[in-house]
Structure 1
Amino acid sequence: MRIELIRHGQTDWNRDGRLQGSTDIPLNDTGRAQAVEAAAVLADQGLSAIVSSPLMRARDTARIIAEILDIDLGATYDDLIERDYASREGAVPTEHIPDEPNAEFPDIEPRESVTARGMRAIAEIRDTRLPLDGPHATVAAVCHGTIIRFVLSEILGEEIPHIHNAAINEIEWTDGAWRVLSVNGSPAVDVRA
């Protein structure tokens, strides 16, 4: 089974460099156009369904893709919600965002928590969709950049760079383990080079 992890389209806060986290910000016109472009890329993937984070920027990206591809708009998964930046949401960071809370980011969600939620979500998607769609199915899951980056990094065992808006990142469940096939639309071997 394959899962296409897709970052939602652009929002005004993305454009302005603001931390969104769990704040529910809508897509802007660019984000809606990016969702249409993602649908064109996904058109030949044979998707059986598309699921998402419940935040509107992810859900609306998923809805646009589902309508264009005429596929089932499946469930939302709370574990796919973006990292909680707490008191820093809406701010433009002036320094690197740490993995763990610190003096500058005292109440952000720790990386370990975000990674655990992401891994739990892809396992739940696999366990829910596999009986419905079969072992050769491909499901799209629209969520958020940081959670995608942390999940891909966890699977690969090395850091993954920034995930672009509406970028498609492919993982595959095979022989009892996840493997990363692509990051930001490029083969995973290119990312590791």
Structure 2
Amino acid sequence: MKRLLLVRHGESEWNSIRRLQGQADISLSERGRAQALALKNTVADLAPDRVATSDLSRARVTAELLGFPQAERRTDLRENHVGDWTGQGIADLVAADPTAYAGWRAGTHTPPGGESWAGFAGRTRKAVLSLSEETAATLLVVAHGGVIRALLESFLGISPKRIIPVGPASLTILRRQGESLTDMRLELFNYSPTGPILDAPD
């Protein structure tokens, strides 16, 4: 694999009302579908030769709208499991315990019943390494904001607390520099053909 394309799913119904979803299987909003379609030509021009997606519907449908209905569906590309926080409003979580929420965003706090950041980062890194072994040139992964932040930490060493929320239906690109997949460079972050996304929901 020479290049890794990372796309966050389009806006979901819960993204639109700032509700934390984790691994809840929430559908795309109409705006989210339009966002995915707007990105389609950009991704097509990059001609990925292998495509994988989280099996959750918001990612899977995004992959379909990008033109890849046969994308490989993988449970190991699911979003971070947020346990008891699933379905709660982000503003409510921040109001109840701002330190805990900030810690979760930084990868240092695990919600009750949730998945640790270390376990999540390890899971998603292993998934991409496995996919890369059979990818000749360009791998496209359609997944979630947390997955992309975890991969940026795994392959670039960027702490999650230093990364803004990844925009819906945005494109991030990593390029391999040397022989090892650990030698990756950031080519593009959070690109959307509709303009900058600076206030994306978690």
User: TM-score under structure 1 normalisation?
Assistant: 0.83
- Partner of 1:118, secondary structure, is helix
Shift in Å at residue 29 of structure 1?
0.5
Is the CA contact (8 Å cut-off) linking 2:172 and 2:190 kept in structure 1?
Answer: yes
Structure 2 equivalent of residue 82 of structure 1: 79
Structure 2 equivalent of residue 155 of structure 1: 155
Shift in Å at residue 116 of structure 1?
0.3
Q: What whole-Å deviation, never above 9, does each CA across 1:3-49 have from its counterpart, x for those lacking one?
A: 21110000110011111110000111011101101112213112223
Structure 2 equivalent of residue 191 of structure 1: none
RMSD across aligned positions (CA): 1.9
| 1:106 pairs with one of 82, 94, 112 | 112
Structure 2 equivalent of residue 185 of structure 1: 191
Structure 2 equivalent of residue 164 of structure 1: 167
What is the identity, as a one-letter code, of the residue corresponding to 2:77?
Answer: L
Structure 2 equivalent of residue 119 of structure 1: 125
Shift in Å at residue 156 of structure 1?
1.9
Shift in Å at residue 101 of structure 1?
4.3
Distance 2:153 2:109 in 1: 19
What is the identity, as a one-letter code, of the residue corresponding to 2:19?
Answer: R
User: TM-score under structure 2 normalisation?
Assistant: 0.79
Is the CA contact (8 Å cut-off) linking 2:59 and 2:142 kept in structure 1?
Answer: yes
Q: Does 1:146 align with 2:146?
A: yes
Distance 1:63 1:88 in 2: 29
Shift in Å at residue 55 of structure 1?
0.3
- Partner of 1:47, secondary structure, is coil
Distance 2:59 2:173 in 1: 17
- Partner of 2:4, secondary structure, is strand
Structure 2 equivalent of residue 19 of structure 1: 20
Distance 2:13 2:147 in 1: 20
- Partner of 1:149, secondary structure, is helix
Q: How many residues align?
A: 174
Structure 2 equivalent of residue 37 of structure 1: 38
Shift in Å at residue 107 of structure 1?
2.2
Distance 1:39 1:48 in 2: 15
Residues 20 and 82 of structure 1, relative CA distance in 2, 3 Å threshold: same
List alignment gaps of at least 5 residues for structure 1: 187-193
Shift in Å at residue 108 of structure 1?
2.1
Distance 1:49 1:34 in 2: 22
- Partner of 1:73, secondary structure, is coil
- Partner of 1:142, secondary structure, is strand
Shift in Å at residue 171 of structure 1?
1.7
| More deviation, 2-11/39-48 | 39-48
